[in-house]
């Protein structure tokens, strides 16, 4: 009997388009001779849509935007659960290709746990803490993993004492600095600030996306990434980096720059490669990760390594850094990588199902 795969994409998130790009590649790569694939689109309003079994590879990204049958999130979610997932029979796994809030933050993972359905990627706890940059930084600090100096600001505190907070950031962090929404990815809502005017503007922009933000000092150095995969005994890939012209690697640089160059493995000494891989695995375990994650670092001119952040579900198109790093580390092809991640999901699910819930 074929494994049934429910591919979730879209979502009520500023990273909606990024998710669709990922889904387009994944849906075209899953071996449908081995699996039954059910695309499940979540609209920007949080409505769930499924038209059943995928009968052919999608031709365009636009074709993935399915039409909901109702205007109630609860109604549409219930329809998908009752009509498709609960009636699936056999072995099933959810593949949540969701980036940012309402998908990468533990919410969908919690739903899968309640339903007793296997799902790819990190669990509820690890998904939540990796997406929240401020909580993640606290864990890293407690573990003694070096990172940039930072400051957290909450919206209510900003409303009460904005002037004083500006002074504290200038004194403690200085310029240039980066202002980031605490729970968002793809560089959305992030600003590089060189003076107080830009800092205020950056804070106001970040608060449009989150009620908590992180302000970090700028580390003058290279951005090094490493892919991690696995459950109890995870593996780390060779590191990679993007060679780009922009000072700030923003959304446009990541997704629209035609001259962006990927360097895998990154041109760093063997000792640095080893430190990157060891530190990535340490951070992966510290955050209780499972399945997959991408760990990002800064490497300055003196050779100091600063952990930037952990991405619980990194970009996953055919040209994204995560799958490319694995292909160039051990030859794992894109379709094979998807199979491995589903195997990790099913193994973890079986282990969790074996846990007793009664005396």
Asked if residue 309 belongs to a known ligand binding site, the reply is yes
Closest CA to 8 of 112, 82, 91, 86: 112
Separation between Cα atoms, residue 20 and residue 23, nearest integer Å: 5
CA distance 5 to 88: 10
The three-point CA angle 99-103-107 to 5° equals 155
Residue 296 assigned ligand-binding role: yes
Buried b (16+ CB within 10 A) or exposed e, 212-230: bbbbbbbbebbbbbbbbbb
Residue 205: closest CA among 20, 44, 14? 14
Annotated binding residue at 59?
no
Q: Tokens for 40?
A: 């499940």
Catalytic residues: 15, 186, 320
191: Cβ–Cβ under 8 A, 6 or more apart, which residues? 178, 179, 198, 201, 202, 205, 206
Task: Please state the separation of Cα 130 from the chain's center in Å.
Answer: 8
Beta-bridge mates of residue 36: 4
Determine the 3-state secondary structure of 106 from DSSP: coil
Query: Which residues line the annotated binding site for Mg(2+)?
Result: 296, 309, 311
Q: Would you list which residues are annotated within the binding site?
A: 296, 309, 311
């Amino acid at each position: 009997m074929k494994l049934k795969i429910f591919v979730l994409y879209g979502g009520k998130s500023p990273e909606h388009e990024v998710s669709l790009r990922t889904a387009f590649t994944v849906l075209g790569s899953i071996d449908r001779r081995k699996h039954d694939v059910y695309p499940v689109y979540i609209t920007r309003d949080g409505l769930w849509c499924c038209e059943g079994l995928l009968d052919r590879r999608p031709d365009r990204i636009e074709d993935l935007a399915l039409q909901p049958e109702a205007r109630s999130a609860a109604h549409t979610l219930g329809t998908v659960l009752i009509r498709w997932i609960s009636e699936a029979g056999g072995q099933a796994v959810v593949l949540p290709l969701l980036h940012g809030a309402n998908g990468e933050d533990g919410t969908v993972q919690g739903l899968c746990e309640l339903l007793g359905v296997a799902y790819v990627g990190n669990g509820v706890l690890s998904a939540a803490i990796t997406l929240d940059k401020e909580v993640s930084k606290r864990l890293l600090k407690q573990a003694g993993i070096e990172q940039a100096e930072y400051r957290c600001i909450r919206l209510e505190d900003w409303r009460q004492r904005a002037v004083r907070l500006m002074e504290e950031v200038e004194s403690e962090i200085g310029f240039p600095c980066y202002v980031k929404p605490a729970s968002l990815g793809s560089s959305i809502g992030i600003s590089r600030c060189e003076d107080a005017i830009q800092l205020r503007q950056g804070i106001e922009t970040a608060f449009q996306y989150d009620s908590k933000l992180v302000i970090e000092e700028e580390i003058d150095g290279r951005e090094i990434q490493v892919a991690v995969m696995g459950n109890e005994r995870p593996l780390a890939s060779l590191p990679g980096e993007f060679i780009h012209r922009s000072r700030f690697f923003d959304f446009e640089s990541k997704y629209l720059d035609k001259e962006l160059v990927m360097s895998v493995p990154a041109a760093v000494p063997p000792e640095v490669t080893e430190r990157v891989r060891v530190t990535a695995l340490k951070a992966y375990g510290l955050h209780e990760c499972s399945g997959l994650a991408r760990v990002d670092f800064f490497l300055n001119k003196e050779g100091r390594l600063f952990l930037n952040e952990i991405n619980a579900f990194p970009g996953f198109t055919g040209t994204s850094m995560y799958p490319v790093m694995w292909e160039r580390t051990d030859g794992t092809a894109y379709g094979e990588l998807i199979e491995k991640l589903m195997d990790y999901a099913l193994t973890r699910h079986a282990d969790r199902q074996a846990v007793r819930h009664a005396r």
